[in-house]
């Protein structure tokens, strides 16, 4: 696997700066909604937000038994956080609307949205041999479903005027692995939505809604086990992306609003690197999903006279 490293330190597990027990990352008093939170990385993200003292965590998924089992385990471990299991399919607009209507009718305002649910399949070496329905399902969930959740989150009727929101997008956009079967609609569709979030971040200042997208790393999960052998690589620890999600939803990450980063990168080194800071200030396309080889492109460049 070819990995791009922007910092000298490359993390495979959590560390003090992003630890969910770090007081500066506290989520006390907040309600957090996590899609796909019943298992795998989603479940670990739920645990990290609970460690960060979130008051209420709502986990959404299609399998209600998985969600209910997860809530039982979470309540045993964290007595000071209220956990709610809510069945929902983000690819279904009726289901998504029902979820948010239920929250609104129960006077539940969500402060933090973590977009973790994703559609991984199909995988294969020849995209043109894939069924249309399989291809569209990936885009239905990874693009439209995530967009629908984002729009309903930002436009909550219960949102107080001036209340800042935090959106965290877990995305493998841009990853390139061998063998070829991993080059599939999942990566393309996740990249599409991550690029769309970059556009939304341009339209909404960080004071309105803080948007951070990050690559979670190489994780051996229930879904990944269907495609990869456990011994194929050295997998990262789940605690790394789980705690990184909490860090991304904190004021500590505000300077990366709208950008796409990797959980492996050391956040202190990122912030102290003057060259990175300079590029963030001068290049609106830096650390965003875009065409390789182009630093930035805008309508202004086409409108300039010779």
Catalytic residues: 171, 186, 190
Count of CB atoms situated within 10 Å of the CB of 2: 7
* Residue 146 to residue 238: CA distance in whole angstroms: 22
In order, the DSSP letters of 244-283 are HHHHHTSGGGGGGTT-EEETTB-HHHHHH-HHHHHHHHH-
Peptide bond into 103 cis (omega under 30): no
Residue 205 phi/psi, 5° resolution?
-65, 160
* Residue 2 to residue 88: CA distance in whole angstroms: 35
CA distances from 58 to 99, 160, 248 (A): 11, 20, 18
Place of tokens 């912030």: 271
């Amino acid at each position: 696997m070819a990995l791009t490293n922007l910092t000298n330190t490359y993390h495979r597990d959590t560390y003090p700066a992003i630890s969910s027990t770090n007081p500066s990352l506290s989520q006390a008093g907040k309600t957090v909604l996590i899609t796909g939170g019943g298992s795998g990385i989603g479940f670990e993200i739920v645990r990290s937000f609970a460690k960060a003292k979130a008051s209420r965590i709502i986990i959404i998924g299609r399998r209600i038994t998985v969600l209910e089992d997860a809530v039982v385990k979470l309540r045993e471990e964290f007595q000071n956080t209220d956990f709610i299991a809510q069945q929902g399919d983000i690819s279904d607009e009726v289901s998504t609307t029902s979820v948010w209507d239920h929250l609104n009718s129960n006077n539940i305002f969500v402060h933090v949205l973590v977009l973790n649910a994703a559609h991984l399949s199909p995988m294969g070496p020849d995209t043109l041999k894939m069924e249309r329905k399989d291809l569209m399902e990936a885009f239905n969930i990874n693009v439209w479903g995530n967009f629908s959740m984002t729009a309903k989150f930002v436009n909550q009727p219960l949102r107080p005027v001036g209340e800042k929101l935090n959106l965290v997008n877990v995305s493998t956009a841009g990853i390139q692995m061998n063998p070829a079967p991993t080059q599939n609609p999942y990566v393309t569709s996740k990249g599409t939505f991550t690029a769309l979030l970059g556009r939304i971040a341009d339209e909404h200042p960080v004071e309105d809604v803080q948007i951070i997208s990050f690559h979670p790393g190489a994780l051996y999960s229930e879904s990944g086990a269907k495609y990869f052998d456990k011994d194929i690589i050295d997998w990262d620890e789940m605690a790394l992306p789980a705690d990184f999600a909490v860090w991304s939803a904190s004021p500590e990450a505000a300077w990366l609003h709208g950008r796409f980063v990797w959980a492996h990168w050391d956040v202190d080194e990122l912030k102290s690197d003057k060259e990175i800071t300079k590029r963030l200030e001068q290049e609106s396309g830096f650390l965003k999903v875009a065409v390789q080889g182009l630093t930035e492109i805008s309508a202004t460049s086409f409108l300039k006279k010779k």
